Structure 1
Amino acid sequence: MEITINRESKTPIYLQIKKQIEAMINSGKLPPNFILPAERVLGGRLKINRSTVIKAYMELKAEGLVESRVGSGTVVLAPFSKDGIQEKMYVPPLRWNQLESRRVNKSNEQTINNILSVFEKEKVISFASGVASEDSYDMELLQSIQTRLLEKHREKVLMPTPVDGCSELKHTIRSYLQQNGINAGTKQIMVTSGSQQAVEFLARLLIEPGDVVLVEEPTYIGAIQAFESYDARLIGIPMDEEGIRLDILETCLVKYRPKLIYTQPTFHNPTGMTMSLNRRKELLKLAYYYNIPILEDNPYEELYYEGEKLPSLKSLDNNDYVIYVSSFSKTISFSLRVGYVVAGENIINRFIKFKQITDIQTNTLSQYFVHEFVAHGYLKNHLEKIRNKYRKKRDLMIAQLNKCNVEGMRIFVPGGGYFIWLELPNNIRMNELIKLLGDKGIIVMPGDVFYPKYNIESNFIRLNFSYPKEQDIEDGIEKLLDCIVKCSNSNVKVGHPVETVLNPYL
C-alpha cells in the first residue's frame, strides 16, 4: 500500500491519506478484509505524527469503508450493496402510523370518501350523496362549450393561471355576485378548488389548538373535519324554525369568546332549514357587538323551490365581518371543483399563500368552462331546469315518506337545496337500521356524523333527493320505511347507545 504525501499541498495530510486509501478501496486494490498498517507503523513510514493517521482512519470508518477489529486492527470492509443487504437481512414493514403527526392521527374520518366511492358501485340506491342528478346535464350544450373553449382560448386553457384564479372567471364571479347584492372587487375574490378548500384555509389562518368555533348543530361534516384538523373546539348551537338560536349563541359568545362563527343560513346541510331575514340581521348585530367574524357557507342559495331568495349575510354586512364562500359544484358540476371565497384583501392574500403550497391553482380548463357557462347566460336556464327537476324529486320523496305513519318519525321539508332531514323514533338502534338498509342496497347518511364529537341525543338520517332517479326514490323509500318499521317493532328499547356504523356498501 503506497501513499504519497505532498507537504506543499493546501489539503490537510490526514485527508490526503484518507482519499488515497479510499481510492484504493474503491478500485479494488485493497480488497475486503485487507488489514491496514497500524497507525504508529504508517505514521513512522510517512514521517508524520500517529494522531494524523488516527484521524484519517476515523474518516474512513465514518464512511463505512473500514472498521476496527479486536486482534486484527483496522480492516477494509466489503463495498456497500443495497441488493446484498436486502438479500441477507430482514427488512421490517415501515410503520407509517407511528410517523404520523398527532394532529393527523386525531382524525381518521373518511365519511366523504366513503360516500363518493358509492358511484363506482352498481345496484345500489344512494340517498347519502350530495351531488347533482346524472340526467340534469345538456350534454350537447356542454360539448359545444368545450369545443368553443378550445377554439377560442386554444393553448391558454392548458396553461397556468394566477394562483387566485383566471381574470376572466373572477370578473364573471364579480358580476354574478353583484346580481345577488354582494359588491366586491376582483382583489377580494379568490377562485378555490371547491368551497371546502376555502373553509380549510380559514381554519388554517385563524385556529390555534383549543380555539372555540361556534357552529349550528347539526352542521356540515366537511366543516367539522376542517376545524377539528386544527384542534379547534367546536361548540354546537341549536336551531329552531328561524335558524340558529341567538339567545344560546350570545351566551356562548360571552362564555367562550370564540374565534369564529360558522353558519349555512340558506338551505342548511343537513337540515335544509333557512335562517329568517330578521335572524340574519340580528346575527350580524351580535357579531359586530362581540367583534367575532362569520364564515358564511352558501352553496345552495340558487336551488330554491318556492318563494324568493333571501339576501345573504355578506350582502347585509357593511363592516367586512363576513367571509363568504360558495361553489359551482351544486349548480353546475361537482367534478369541476370550482368554488370561490369573498373576503378582505388581507385575507385573500393569506389564502393565496396557502393555495401556493396546497395545489398552486384551480384547474384551468374547469375555470374557463365555468366562466363560459355563466358569462354566456347558460347558468340561468340550467338553474330553472334543475329547480323544476329537484322540486319534483323532493315532493316525490316527501309523498313516499308520508305513506307510512310511524310514531316518532318527523320530516323536515326543505325550501331548497339537496336534502331532507328525517327524525326517527328513539327506540331505533341506528347501527341495526344502517346494517339492515345496507343488506337491501340502500345507503343513507346517519345523523351523528353532522354533530361535533358525534354528540347526538335523537335519531336522525339525511336523505338526498337530487341524485337518485325517481324510480329509485320510490323503490328506495319503500325499503327504507320497511326497515324503519322493522326496527321500531323490535324489542329494542330506549337507552341503548347510538352507534355509527358505516354502510358496507360505502
Structure 2
Amino acid sequence: MKLDSSDPRPLYVQLADRLVELIEGGAFHPGDRLPAMRDLAQSLDCALITVSQAYELLSARGRAHARPGKGTFVSEPPPQEEPFARRWEPDVARFARGARLEGVIERLTPASEPGAISLAAGHPAPETFPLHDFARAFHRTLLDDSPDLMQYRSSTGDADLCAKLAALLRGRGCSASAADVIVCSGAQQAADVVATVLLEARSVVASESPTYWGTLGVFDARGVTYVEVRGDSDGVRVDDVERVFAEYRPRLFFVSPIAQNPTGAVLPARRAKQIVSLARRYDVVILEDQTGWQLTYDAPAPPPLAAHDTDGRVIVMESLSKSIFPALRIGYLYAKGGINEALEAAKMRADVFTSTLTQRALWRFMEGPACARHFRSARSLYRKRRDAFVEALSDLVPWARVRTPSAGVNVWLELPQRVSTQAAFDACAREGVLVMPSEPFYPTRSGPPALRLSFGHLAEAQAREGIVRLARALGKLVQKA
C-alpha cells in the first residue's frame, strides 16, 4: 500500500479510500483490528496525523470504530443509504481538517502542564505591547470623535486609517491610494476574503513550502489542490516558481516575502521582481503576506512584490495584530482595479465592517511618534533574543540544521531524516518543552522533518532552559535512530 503525492486527494483521503478497498475486497472483516496507527505510519513513511485523519474518516463513513485503549476495528457493512449520505462527506472532511489546524495552538498550551516551556506558539513579547500609548489613543478617540463613530461605517475601513496605510505602502514603492486598501479583522479574515473571491474546490494554489499553517487552513476549507514551491535560505527559488507556473498554471501563488513563517527568510528584491514578471507571463495572481516587515534584523525590509506590479495582479495582506499586539485584530488588503472591487464586495458580505473604534485608535497611534518608537524597541529586543536563541541551539543541538531568521520571531530547526517529528514532539513534551511540528506548515502536510521554535515571547534564560530540555529530548531520539 502506497500513498501518491501527485494524487490531488489529500494523503489521509487516499489512505481511507485504500482501506475501504481492502475491507470490501475481504482483506479485513467486521471485527478485525486495523493496524496500529504508529505501525501503519511507519510502514507508509507518512505522518502519524495522516493515519489518524484516515481512521477518523473511516469512522465518519461507518466503516470502522475506535475502542478506547484497544485500537480501531472494522465495523459491520453500512446500510444501503450510506453512499447517498457520503456525497457531502468530502466537504465536511475538508472543513474538519481546517478545524483541526485551528486547534494546533490549543494542544500546545502549557497551561495544563505547570513548568512546561513553550517554544511552539509564535507570540510577541508582552513587554513590547504599547498599552499606555494605545490607552491614550482610545481615550482621545472616545472624547474627540463624533458619536457617529459608533454607528455602522464603511466596510472597507476608516478613511484616515486607509490613507495612512496607503501612505506607508507608497513609501515602500507601491502606487497606493486609500481606495486600494480594505481593512479586515486580522490577516486570517483577509486571507478568507481573498479565498472567497479567487478560489473554489480543486483550484490549483501554488504555495511556498513550508509556510504559515493558518493561511493554509483557510485554503484547505476551499478544497484546493496544492503545488509546492521549493525555497532556500533566501525564500522561494525563482527557477522553481517558473517550473510550477509553467507546468500547473495555478490560480493563485501564496508567498511571504518578509519574516517568512516559519523560516524567517527575507526574499531579495531581485527575486521579487522576477517572480512578478513570471506571474505576468503565466497569468497568475499573487497573494503576498507582508506581516512583520517592520521586524527585519540585518537590513531594511525590501519593497513588497506589489511595488513591481504594473497590471493589478498582486494582492498585499498584512496583520498589524502580530506586529503591535494580538488583541488588536486589525489587518488589511491592498489590491488594484477589478480584484479590489471584488474583495470589497466579499468583505462586506463577511462582516459588514471592522470595529471603527479600534481603527480610529490605531490611526491615532500610527500618526504619533509612539508607533515608530514601538517598532524600534521591538526590533532591538527580538534581535537580541534571536542571537542568543540561535547561539544556544547551535551549541546544544549541533547535529540539527538551524536556520537563522532574518526577520520575525521563529527559528526553523531541520532534523535528521531518520527522526520522526511526531516522536520529537512527544519526547519534548515529556521533557517539559512544547514545540511545533513541521507537518502543518507543508501545504501537502508532508515534507522533511523539522520543528518551528519561537523565541519572541521568552526571556533569554527561559528560552535557554527550553533549549536544554529540547536538546535532552532530541539527543535521546538521535541515539536510538
TM-score, structure 1 as length reference: 0.73
Spell out the pairing of 1:161-176 with structure 2 (5 A cutoff): 161-176=153-168
Asked if 2 retains the 8 angstrom alpha-carbon contact of 1:242 and 1:279, the reply is no
- 1:353-379: per-residue Cα shift (whole Å, max 9, x none)? 322332221122221121111012321
Question: Following TM superposition, by how much is the alpha carbon of 1:178 offset from its aligned partner in structure 2, in angstroms?
Answer: 1.9
Give secondary structure in 2 for the equivalent of 1:478: helix
Aligned counterparts of 1:113 and 1:151: Cα–Cα separation in 2: 40
The residue type paired with residue 134 of structure 1 is P
The residue that corresponds to 2:463 in the other structure is: 473
Aligned counterparts of 1:347 and 1:282: Cα–Cα separation in 2: 22
Asked if 2 retains the 8 angstrom alpha-carbon contact of 1:187 and 1:345, the reply is no
- 1:199-232: per-residue Cα shift (whole Å, max 9, x none)? 2222221123222111111111122222221111
Asked if 1 retains the 8 angstrom alpha-carbon contact of 2:205 and 2:252, the reply is yes
Question: Following TM superposition, by how much is the alpha carbon of 1:100 offset from its aligned partner in structure 2, in angstroms?
Answer: 7.1
Q: Residues 399 and 375 of structure 1: is their aligned pair in 2 closer, same or farther, counting only changes over 3 Å?
A: same
Spell out the pairing of 1:227-242 with structure 2 (5 A cutoff): 227-242=219-234
The residue that corresponds to 1:436 in the other structure is: 427
1:414 aligns with 2:405: yes
Question: Following TM superposition, by how much is the alpha carbon of 1:402 offset from its aligned partner in structure 2, in angstroms?
Answer: 1.8
Q: Residues 133 and 119 of structure 1: is their aligned pair in 2 closer, same or farther, counting only changes over 3 Å?
A: farther
Aligned counterparts of 1:360 and 1:100: Cα–Cα separation in 2: 29
Give secondary structure in 2 for the equivalent of 1:386: helix
The residue type paired with residue 474 of structure 2 is I
The residue that corresponds to 2:251 in the other structure is: 259
Aligned counterparts of 1:151 and 1:100: Cα–Cα separation in 2: 52
Asked if 2 retains the 8 angstrom alpha-carbon contact of 1:115 and 1:129, the reply is yes
1:217 aligns with 2:209: yes
Identity among equivalent pairs (%): 27
Asked if 2 retains the 8 angstrom alpha-carbon contact of 1:406 and 1:485, the reply is no
Q: Residues 161 and 120 of structure 1: is their aligned pair in 2 closer, same or farther, counting only changes over 3 Å?
A: farther
Q: How many residues align?
A: 393
Specify which of 133, 137, 140 is matched with residue 148 of structure 1. Answer: 140
Specify which of 468, 474, 481 is matched with residue 484 of structure 1. Answer: 474
Q: Residues 113 and 375 of structure 1: is their aligned pair in 2 closer, same or farther, counting only changes over 3 Å?
A: farther
Q: Residues 123 and 142 of structure 1: is their aligned pair in 2 closer, same or farther, counting only changes over 3 Å?
A: farther
Question: Aligned-residue CA RMSD in angstroms?
Answer: 2.1
Spell out the pairing of 1:377-388 with structure 2 (5 A cutoff): 377-388=369-380
Aligned counterparts of 1:137 and 1:222: Cα–Cα separation in 2: 23
Question: Following TM superposition, by how much is the alpha carbon of 1:388 offset from its aligned partner in structure 2, in angstroms?
Answer: 0.4
Aligned counterparts of 1:369 and 1:100: Cα–Cα separation in 2: 44
Structure 1 runs not aligned, ≥5 long: 1-96, 493-506
Aligned counterparts of 2:284 and 2:157: Cα–Cα separation in 1: 28
Question: Following TM superposition, by how much is the alpha carbon of 1:157 offset from its aligned partner in structure 2, in angstroms?
Answer: 4.6
The residue type paired with residue 457 of structure 2 is Y
Aligned counterparts of 2:421 and 2:277: Cα–Cα separation in 1: 40
Asked if 1 retains the 8 angstrom alpha-carbon contact of 2:245 and 2:282, the reply is yes
Spell out the pairing of 1:55-70 with structure 2 (5 A cutoff): none
Specify which of 65, 86, 91 is matched with residue 103 of structure 1. Answer: 91
1:370 aligns with 2:358: no
Give secondary structure in 2 for the equivalent of 1:146: helix
Question: Following TM superposition, by how much is the alpha carbon of 1:101 offset from its aligned partner in structure 2, in angstroms?
Answer: 6.5
- 1:457-478: per-residue Cα shift (whole Å, max 9, x none)? x210001111223222011111
The residue that corresponds to 1:126 in the other structure is: 118
Aligned counterparts of 2:209 and 2:96: Cα–Cα separation in 1: 21
Larger helix fraction of residues: 2
1:182 aligns with 2:174: yes
- 1:359-411: per-residue Cα shift (whole Å, max 9, x none)? 2211222211211110123211100000001011111111211222543x100
Aligned counterparts of 1:120 and 1:112: Cα–Cα separation in 2: 18
Spell out the pairing of 1:20-35 with structure 2 (5 A cutoff): none
Q: Residues 357 and 438 of structure 1: is their aligned pair in 2 closer, same or farther, counting only changes over 3 Å?
A: same
The residue that corresponds to 1:248 in the other structure is: 240
- Deviates most, 152-161 or 466-475: 152-161
- 1:317-340: per-residue Cα shift (whole Å, max 9, x none)? 222221111121122111111001
The residue type paired with residue 143 of structure 1 is A
- Deviates most, 345-354 or 333-342: 345-354
Question: Following TM superposition, by how much is the alpha carbon of 1:156 offset from its aligned partner in structure 2, in angstroms?
Answer: 4.4
Question: Following TM superposition, by how much is the alpha carbon of 1:272 offset from its aligned partner in structure 2, in angstroms?
Answer: 1.2
